[in-house]
A and B are shown apart, each in its own frame.
Chain A
Amino acid sequence: MAVAPRTPPKKRDWSWRSQAFRGLLYQIIAVLLIGGAAWFLAHNTAENMRIRGIQGGFDFLKSPAGFDIGESLFHFDSNDPYWKAFAVGVSNTLRVAIIGIILTTILGTLIGVGRFSRNGLVRGLCQAYVELFRNVPVLLQLLMWYLLFTELLPEIADARHIGPFFLSKGGLSFPVPEWSSSHYFTMLGGLIGLGAAWWWRGRTQKRFEETGQLGSMFLIPAAIIIAAALAGWVAGGMPTTWIVPKKGEFAVEGGGSLTPEFMAVLMGLVLYTAAFVAEVVRSGIQSVARGQSEAAQALGLSRGQEMQKILLPQALRVIIPPMTNQYLNLTKNSSLAVAIGYPDVVSISNTALNQTGRAVECIAIIMLVYLTTSLSTSFFMNWYNAKSAIRER
């Protein structure tokens, strides 16, 4: 609040001309209006539903859903309650969102960096990619991938296979290791390796800051993790049984599988969002002062080292906030999956809405789910942003 320029200020001047008083009054009015509007909307909806004899409430979440879901990360039976059906939907949404965000970041960064390549062809291709994919609506891209998968792939009955991998209109089937308790050892080994790799990176960084000697920040830590996981696997008794998909009478059975719906959604979202991420990365790198690049060259750093050690760390501060937006966009765009039959939370909710007629409730659940995931993403990215910001002394 602005302080009156006159000194000493009066304690409080409760007249209409007092800034403090008007400020308070406006705030009270604003709160009352917002509260009133919210109350009006809620009351009006409830009242109209009552008049029309439409039943409401969230009690339906406990009753059996009565419909099957095509793909699910965990077991779902049609006798399970509605809330579990929603949980399946949320897990399917998160599966696309999380894998999508990881792949988008990798692909987008590569393309963004590629725009600074000294090779004209690579530069041109990266630019063409960005222009092509960001200028076609994402729904169209999803439909295109889905059409390509369902039209061009071989029939389910005569699936093509390369080794143990089967590809058909039914999706991609691949072998998965048969779960046994000894796999816990492998996981434990991997976790220990992760800790060791973290420690290694910290040590290398410290040594670099003290002596200027460069060490491996990626390959050796990666090797540590793999070696530790392998050691855990050996300690667990080297389980080697895999569930390999087999061609059945009508379909490919067994093993893990990715449906064409999932692949189309993932591919469409990743390729689309990566174009935006590439632009974010490019703008971030360009924001680093030219002198930094020249200084790096003067020090005799290679082009790769210059990018990795000098440009990207500084660009990160500019990159992270818009990157958060792209992650949120990807997550929210995954709701378009309903158009191509992927059972995400919107699809499940649509079905639930129609079985129960609880429109307001089902829409509220969708909103809550997207709000929660978006706020969590923002929260994490803000934390990361604060961490990588310039530390002012």
Chain B
Amino acid sequence: MKQFRTKAALASLLAAGAMLSLPAHAGATLDKIKKNGQVVCGVNTGLAGFSQADASGNWTGLDVDVCKAIAAAVLGDANKVKWVPLNAQQRFTALQSGEVDILSRNTTFSLTRDASLGLHVTGVTYYDGQGFMVTTKSKIKDAKQLKGQTVCVQSGTTTEKNLTDFSKANGLGIKPVVFEKVEAATGAYFSGRCVAYTTDASGLASVRNKEAKNPDEHLILPQLISKEPLGPMVRRGDDEWFAIAKWVIHGLLEAEEYGVTQANVDQQKSSQDPVVQRLLGTTEDTGKLLGLDKEWMGRALKAVGNYGEIFERNVGPKSALKLPRGANNLWNKGGLMYAYPVR
């Protein structure tokens, strides 16, 4: 009996070890996706405008649409995505271990993350900055008035460090109250435990519109204290897959720049503009170089529309979040969005 128990314990140990041993498939992500018929996409557990599931399990949002575009380009069907909701702490491990193929979860790019986590940044899908939300009752108009105040923040984000840097640079002595879950952090702010809540400005808009009882009672301070370029990440070691994700994003931007929309993508196939012809694969086969077919970008655009449409639908002035296009406008319209040439 005793020996049996020892053996059982050992067997379970070995089983645990086998589960920990990560699948080694460098360069094989695309093959795996084609074989399984689905892209596994890591998204936020719930951030209005970026990734959010409705009552029937349909995901919507800017980050979600990027994954849909990739699925449409690779598999020909924007719905062939398995959504894996991840919190801030799980996200990198999930990508590193191969649980997800791509992490499209309002994640900031930074040197440490790029250089030490074994991940690759594919492209920026949203230029953000960290801000503060306060109650109008507090009469705070400027972030520098937060001297000695408590600020609610979610753990496991760059937000915590930015807050500290800002507090230190201005000698404010801000006291952070750090919560594991975003719901707990916003809950504590709405109950009045903290004078301010801090996260990326887009996140603040999302929280104010979706969670505040009366959005007018809350003010998002105009001052941004950090630069937060957000976008999807992939694992290192599979350059083929990295290139696909990167070029789908650039394709979405290029389409907006050249006026290809979800509605007119079929008419545009007869366009005489060589850029559009290349993008939609009517002349050159750009998809072949990526290991895809020539219709790749056409399908992505048909599924979710170009970047401008994705923005308008999910977070733009007409959506619930009412975020201005600002830095996320195209480069030739005063923004930072600049597509590399798809050729």
**Which positions in A face B, CB cutoff 8 Å?**
26, 30, 33-34, 37, 40-41, 44-45, 48-49, 51-55, 66-71, 78, 147, 150-151, 155-157, 169-170, 248, 250-251, 253, 259-261, 338-341, 343, 347, 350-351, 353-357, 359
Contact = CB atoms under 8 A, between A and B. Distances in A.
Contacts of A351: 155-156, 160, 178
Nearest to A51: B24
A37 B14 contact: yes
Contact of B149 (A68, A251, A353): A251
A313 B107 CA distance: 60
B107 to A, nearest CB: 11
B194 to A, nearest CB: 9
Contacts of B174: 68
16 contacts: A30-B10, A49-B118, A51-B237, A54-B96, A54-B116, A67-B161, A70-B150, A155-B192, A250-B195, A253-B148, A339-B180, A339-B184, A341-B188, A350-B156, A350-B180, A357-B116
Given A44-B21, A339-B184, A350-B156, 18 more contacts: A37-B13, A40-B14, A41-B13, A41-B16, A44-B17, A51-B237, A52-B235, A53-B118, A54-B96, A55-B116, A78-B164, A150-B193, A251-B149, A338-B155, A343-B178, A347-B178, A354-B89, A354-B155
A355 B113 CA distance: 8
A64 to B, nearest CB: 10
B164 A67 contact: yes
Contacts of B16: 41
Given A54-B117, A347-B180, A357 B17 contact: no
A29 to B, nearest CB: 9
Interface in B90-144: 92-93, 96, 112-113, 116-118, 138
Contacts of B178: 70, 341, 343, 347, 351
Nearest to A353: B89
B55 interface: no
Contacts of A51: 24, 26, 237
A96 to B, nearest CB: 16
A314 B58 CA distance: 64
Interface in B166-181: 167-168, 174-181
A356 B158 CA distance: 11
A70 B24 CA distance: 42
A173 B184 CA distance: 24
Interface residues of B, number: 56
A169 B180 contact: no
Contacts of B148: 248, 250-251, 253
B167 A170 contact: no
A147 B191 contact: yes
A68 B167 contact: yes
A379 B104 CA distance: 48
Contact of A151 (B89, B165, B191): B191
Contacts, number: 141
A294 to B, nearest CB: 44
Most chain B CB within 10 A, of A49, A52, A78, A157, is at A52
B6 interface: yes
Contact of B10 (A34, A157, A355): A34
B88 interface: yes
Contact of A341 (B92, B152, B167, B195): B152
A131 B188 CA distance: 30
Interface string B193-233: 10100000000000000000000000000000000000000
A393 to B, nearest CB: 35
B10 A37 contact: yes
B333 to A, nearest CB: 35
Contact of A350 (B26, B89, B93): B89
B1 interface: no
B249 interface: no
B192 A169 contact: yes
B185 interface: yes
Contacts of B20: 41, 44-45
B22 to A, nearest CB: 5
B177 A70 contact: yes
B89 A357 contact: no
B163 interface: yes
A52 B238 CA distance: 10
A285 to B, nearest CB: 36
B236 interface: yes
A355 B17 contact: no
Contacts of A356: 112, 116
Contacts of B21: 44, 48
Most chain B CB within 10 A, of A169, A248, A339, A341, is at A341
Interface in B1-36: 3, 6, 10, 13-14, 16-17, 20-22, 24, 26
B157 interface: yes
Contacts of A357: 92, 112-113, 116-117
A144 to B, nearest CB: 13
A350 B155 contact: yes
A356 B193 CA distance: 29
Nearest to A33: B10
A71 B112 CA distance: 27
A340 B150 CA distance: 14
Contacts of B93: 359
B180 A338 contact: yes
Given A53-B236, A170-B150, A66 B165 contact: yes
B288 to A, nearest CB: 29
B86 to A, nearest CB: 13
A190 B174 CA distance: 38
**Which are the 9 A-B pairs with shortest beta-carbon distances?**
A354-B156, A52-B118, A53-B118, A150-B191, A54-B118, A150-B193, A37-B13, A357-B117, A55-B116
Given A52-B237, A343-B178, A30 B6 contact: yes
Contacts of B116: 54-55, 356-357
Contacts of B191: 147, 150-151, 169
B201 to A, nearest CB: 20
Contact of A26 (B3, B117, B163, B176): B3
B190 to A, nearest CB: 9
Contacts of A347: 155, 178, 180
